[in-house]
């Protein structure tokens, strides 16, 4: 079994924000694979289904970004899923908007949601799919930037990127592992 978690903040107020690109990807995945994310369990909205011949849990934590690890720890413990079978999709301000980077393990890179997950799982060995949302302009507050909405131009790039993540990257990670997906997609620009 794989747990695929999109990082984001719950509530209409945060719909379409940079920090919620993980939730946006989960919604695309839900539609693509017919997996309804509608069960409330373990501080999350969860959907169960299959992708690439494997059982998956699609997860949208309802804990807010900075506490994403609390929800994931409960899920991994309950379903007995090792960190190696976790795929986390999240925003990354260090990548230009529309750029994709996959990592098999590593540091939190300054992302509080990833920091929470590493702390709660006591492991950094989970796959991350980082979606570039660009750095804030000079003299722009980082929290305001990540809680801001995308421009029409950004939406165009990100729509193609999220399609690729849902239709190609996630199935490849499940079938062939993160390294295969890293070789084929890292640095790709949309």
| 14 annotated among ligand-binding-site residues | yes
User: How far apart, in whole angstroms, are the C-alpha atoms of residue 71 and residue 67?
Assistant: 8
User: How far apart, in whole angstroms, are the C-alpha atoms of residue 112 and residue 40?
Assistant: 23
User: How far apart, in whole angstroms, are the C-alpha atoms of residue 178 and residue 3?
Assistant: 14
User: How far apart, in whole angstroms, are the C-alpha atoms of residue 26 and residue 80?
Assistant: 22
| 139 annotated among ligand-binding-site residues | no
- Residue with token string 């309804």: 36
Please list the helix, strand and coil fractions of the chain in percent, rounded to the nearest 5, in that order: 45, 25, 30
Q: Choose the catalytic residue: 19, 42, 90, 111.
A: 19
Q: Phi/psi at 158 (nearest 5 deg)?
A: -70, -30
Assess whether 90 carries a catalytic annotation.
no
Q: Helix, strand or coil for residue 32?
A: helix
User: How far apart, in whole angstroms, are the C-alpha atoms of residue 98 and residue 146?
Assistant: 15
- Binding site residue list: 14, 64, 66, 112
- Binding site residue list for tRNA: 14, 64, 66, 112
Instruction: List residues with catalytic annotation.
Output: 19
């Amino acid at each position: 079994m794989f747990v695929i978690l999109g990082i984001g903040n719950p509530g209409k107020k945060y719909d379409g924000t940079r920090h919620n690109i993980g939730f946006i990807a989960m919604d695309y995945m839900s539609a693509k694979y017919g997996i309804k994310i509608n069960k409330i369990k373990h501080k999350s909205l969860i959907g169960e289904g299959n992708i690439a011949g494997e059982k998956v849990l699609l997860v949208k934590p309802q804990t807010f970004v900075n506490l994403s690890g609390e929800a994931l720890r409960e899920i991994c413990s309950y379903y007995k899923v090792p960190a190696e079978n976790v795929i986390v999709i999240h925003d990354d301000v260090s990548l230009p908007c529309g750029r994709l980077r996959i990592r098999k393990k590593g540091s939190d890179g300054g992302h509080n949601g990833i920091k929470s997950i590493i702390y709660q799982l006591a492991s950094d060995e989970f796959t991350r799919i980082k979606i570039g949302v660009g750095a804030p302009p000079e003299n722009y507050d980082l929290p305001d930037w990540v809680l801001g909405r995308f421009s029409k131009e950004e939406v165009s790039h990100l729509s193609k990127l999220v399609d690729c993540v849902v239709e190609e990257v996630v199935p490849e990670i499940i079938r062939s592992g993160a390294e295969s997906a890293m070789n084929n997609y890292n640095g790709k620009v949309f």
